[in-house]
Structure 1
Amino acid sequence: MDSILVRGGGKLSGQIPIAGAKNACLALMPATLLSDEPLTLTNAPRLSDIRTMTELLGSLGAEVTSLQEGKVLAMASHGPINTRAEYDIVRKMRASNLVLGPLLAREGHAEVSLPGGCAIGARPMDIHTDGLAKMGAQIDLRDGYLHAKADGGKLRGAVIDFPFASVGATENIMMAATLAKGTTVINNAAREPEIVDLADCLRAMGAQIDGDGTSTVTIQGVDRLHGATHRVVTDRIELGTYMLAPAICGGEVELLGGRIDLLEAFCEKLDAAGISVSETENGLSVTRREDQIRAVDVTTEPFPGFPTDLQAQMMALLCTADGTSVLEEKIFENRFMHAPELIRMGADIEVHGGTATVKGVAKLKGAPVMATDLRASVSLILAGMAAEGETTVSRVYHLDRGYEHVVTKLRGVGADIERIKS
């Protein structure tokens, strides 16, 4: 199993290109099932999760061709559609559940295995299935599969009130509603940029959607969708992660394609910690204003709040801050698994339930550590870049799911980092 070796010390300087958003692309790809005409995605990230979704769509009868070294995905679903999403593929990735809505909308029935993904807490499918049930789907769980069938073979519009703002459920219901009969209203909808990106793509395909980016989304069903070409939005989590690199190590780095509006709450916390973020002609420039980071408190919230997917990386920054920081995790209940690994590097962290208290130390020390999930893996790399000595991060297969060419990008701005093949 591969590992990543990081030697700490040294400031960073240069540019890092930011890829298209993994979480956006994984929602956009199943949209090809909604039409028999081609759907082309540009600015696609080159990640193992994208390959997994490609495999899943292929198993359902869609054609997915990777062009321009993986940055363009040409898709078509003009042939017979298989409506069973098998466990062997779905278990690899949580986002596999996003084929449920499109399959139901197009074929009127579907069998989708319960999904897998990072072990960061319970993410039940109930909110997805309850919404689809209001649209006339009969759904039951048998042998680990969701068996879903639309009454009369076609979904119908409905008013759906989510108990919380679920990104995945908003995406699934949005896609299902595009071909449903009548109007669907999603109340307490997720507001993330990835939701807006999906809505933009669906509108380009002929869908009638209003209110995306707000808590109420309205979809008027149409008879059919057509083909389109759509550019995947910038990955705000990759952007935030690499913004923290010069914050932790010092120096100045320009993030090509970066936008402040994707991460306003995060940028506010960086400013409070003593990090300057400024817009450039090509993206964002990040630099540390002072020798030592100031402690700040962080609470994760749905967009537009502080992203849960940047909590682990922010904790790495605060390990050497001046003072005590409190991080409260309100999205997932099991997302401090990186804390014991940071403690191995000399961090002073106490975790009680959904709250972590971080007392800044003078310096982290390199150590062998183990990645427990996607975002934890990159937080350990960031910590290692600022630590004394060598840090070896094992189980980095998590990393490949969400960051393309991470070693190349960080080495390009001066980090001493390499991948060790098993």
Structure 2
Amino acid sequence: MKKLVINGGKKLSGEVTINGAKNSTVALIPAAILADSPVVLEGVPDIQDVHSLIDILNIMKVETTFDGSTLTIDPTHMVSIPMPNGKIKSLRASYYFMGALLTKFGKGVVGLPGGCFLGPRPIDQHLKGFRALGATVDNEMGAMYLRTDEKGLVGTRMYLDVVSIGATINVMLAAVKAKGKTIIENAAREPEIIDIATLLNNMGAKVRGAGTDIIRIDGVDELHGCRHTIIPDRIEAGTYLSMAAAAGSDVLINNVIVEHLEGLLAKLEEMGVPMEIGEDSIRVKEATHLKAINIKTLPYPGFATDLQQPLTPLLLKATGTSLITDTIYPKRVKHIPELVRMGANARVESDMILIEGPIKQLHGVEVEASDLRAGACLVTAGLMAEGTTTITGVENILRGYDHIVEKLTALGADVEMIEDDNK
């Protein structure tokens, strides 16, 4: 078991460069198996989720090479076998193999997905989409069996009952080779959707409208390999922006697409965080005299649910009562009891988070990262705190943040990863 040990109170300064987007990468990798020749992905983050996906590919006889940022995927000799359950359980995004296997082989067996537990995250919209395209889907012993008849998948018009990034991407993967035209209405509009569509189009697909709420797909007969550079990770960027505002004196964050962060930047400006916004970088100066704000998470282009936990420690420095309402994952509140143990004046009332500030000082204690973004929250709190903060559940953090110890150390933080021999 790994632990993260942070000796707090050191001001961050310097530069940090953002990696390719985790939430794109975990869909781009399954999408790549639709090609009949090698796909090269550039800017791949070196995170646990990527290694889990590579393991799954290798089991299906897909050849891969990964040097820490460039991943080559050669699906030429791929075989369709039931997906290994252990890897699926650790990885939410494994469900993208449903759409990809259905398209490539006309069948697939995929265990139900895992990942961070943030309350119910049903896949009913994914299954509705597959069925609308003509597939049969059966849940047998906790695994999804997907099949098509001899006609294969056939294009259709469908309306997603809720805006779902996962369902939008999965239906896109299933529809790119379906016969005729598919129209997805009420589609998610996240930048990652555009990234997936760009890869598919580079492979020879005909996808239009990505980034709007109506996506149109004309089915094609074959897809070929290509080279694709992944967009920067807006959630990693937002995490380091929040850390810089909470515990920094002068931090430059490089490789960002500013438009993808407008929801967060508007809130940081409302609080009074001093920033210089460049073309592909954002500089955060030392933040004092911050004002309390209200945050409501919404689908893109609203405030991202994945950024409410990383931003929470900064709200402790603001004067007044801040209110967070997460409309995407209302149960995303497990970071609050851990912050309270460090001295925060925060509470949860009927799925709303209330934070009273400013607090005089957080104090280092042992806390647990219950999920990926809660882990990012606690890292920031540890940087702000007096004394030593020890974070357990580090595996959750490593699922989504590439080289976080090295990046924070380069900014002047006193952070180290240790192996706990007692577990």
Report the TM-score when normalising by structure 1. Answer: 0.97
**Alpha-carbon contact 1:207-1:225 (below 8 Å) kept:** yes
Query: Given the alignment, which residue of 90, 106, 116 partners 2:88?
Result: 90
- CA 417–80 in structure 1, closer or farther in 2 if over 3 Å, else same: closer
Cα displacement (A) at 1:362: 2.1
Counterpart CA distance in 2 for 1:75 and 1:374 is 26
- 2:26 counterpart of 1:26: yes
Tell me the distance in 2 between the aligned counterparts of 1:159 and 1:346. Answer: 53
2:295 counterpart residue number: 298
Identity %: 39
Match of 1:71 in 2: 69
CA distance in 2, matches of 1:37, 1:30: 14
> How far has the Cα of 1:292 moved from its partner?
3.1
Please give the residue correspondences for 1:142-221 in structure 2 after superposition, counting only pairs within 5 Å.
Answer: 142-152=140-150, 154-221=152-219
The question of whether the paired residues in 2 share the 8 Å contact of 1:253 and 1:285 is answered with yes
After superposition, the C-alpha distances for 1:323-359 in whole angstroms (9 at most, x for unaligned) are 1000001111321001000000111112023211111
User: 2 CA distance for matches of 1:255 and 1:358?
Assistant: 27
1:350 is matched with 347
Q: Which stretch of the first structure deviates more once superposed, 168-177 or 280-289?
A: 280-289
Structure 2: which 5+ runs fail to align?
none
| 2:6 match: secondary structure | strand
Find the aligned partners of 2:143 and 2:318 in 1 and give their Cα distance.
47
Please give the alpha-carbon distance, in whole angstroms, between the structure 1 residues aligned to 2:151 and 2:45.
35
Q: Does 2:56 match 1:52?
A: no
SS at match of 1:398: helix
Matches within 5 A, 1:353-372: 353-360=350-357, 361-372=359-370
Structure 2: distance between partners of 1:80 and 1:28: 17
Asked if 1:309 corresponds to 2:309, the answer is: no
Which string of whole-angstrom CA distances, capped at 9 and with x for unpartnered residues, describes residues 104-142 of structure 1?
111111111111110111111111011110000011100
In 2, the alpha carbon distance for the partners of 1:227 and 1:250 equals 43
Secondary structure of 1:346's match? coil
Paired residues of 1:98 and 1:172 also in contact (CA < 8 A): yes
Mean CA deviation greater in 147-156 or 395-404: 147-156
TM-score, normalised to structure 2's length? Answer: 0.97
Distance (whole Å) between structure 2 residues aligned to residue 55 and residue 250 of structure 1? 38
Deviation digits for residues 244-272 of structure 1 (CA, Å, limit 9, x no counterpart)? 12200131111110221111011000001
- Deviation, 1:35, is 1.6
In structure 1, stretches of 5+ residues that fail to align are none
Residues 266-275 or 245-254, more deviating: 245-254
Q: Give 2:324's aligned residue.
A: 327
C-alpha distance after superposition, 1:355-381 (max 9, x if no partner) = 111111222121111110001011101
Give the drift of 1:153.
Answer: 5.0
Q: Tell me the amino acid that sits aligned with residue 156 of structure 2.
A: A
103, 123, 132: which one aligns with 2:121: 123
Q: 1:248 aligns with which of 246, 250, 272?
A: 246
Could you say what the CA RMSD is over the residues aligned between the two structures, in angstroms? 1.2
Report the alpha carbon displacement of residue 151 of structure 1 after superposing the two structures with TM.
2.6
Following superposition, the deviation at residue 203 of structure 1 comes to: 0.5
Q: Residues of 2 paired with 1:309 and 1:246: CA distance?
A: 17
The CA distance in 1 between the partners of 2:132 and 2:279, in whole Å, is: 47
Distance 1:362 1:47 in 2: 35
> Which residue of structure 1 aligns with residue 258 of structure 2?
260
Residues 83 and 109 of structure 1 are in contact (CA less than 8 Å); yes or no, is this contact kept in structure 2? Answer: no
Instruction: Please give the secondary structure, in 1, of the residue aligned with 2:175.
Output: helix
Worse-matched range after superposition: 277-286 or 214-223:
277-286
Q: Which amino acid aligns with 1:303?
A: Y
Residue 374 of structure 1 corresponds to 372
Aligned-partner residue type, residue 112 of structure 2: L
Amino acid at match of 1:174: M
DSSP 3-state at the match of 1:34: coil
SS of residue paired to 1:325? strand
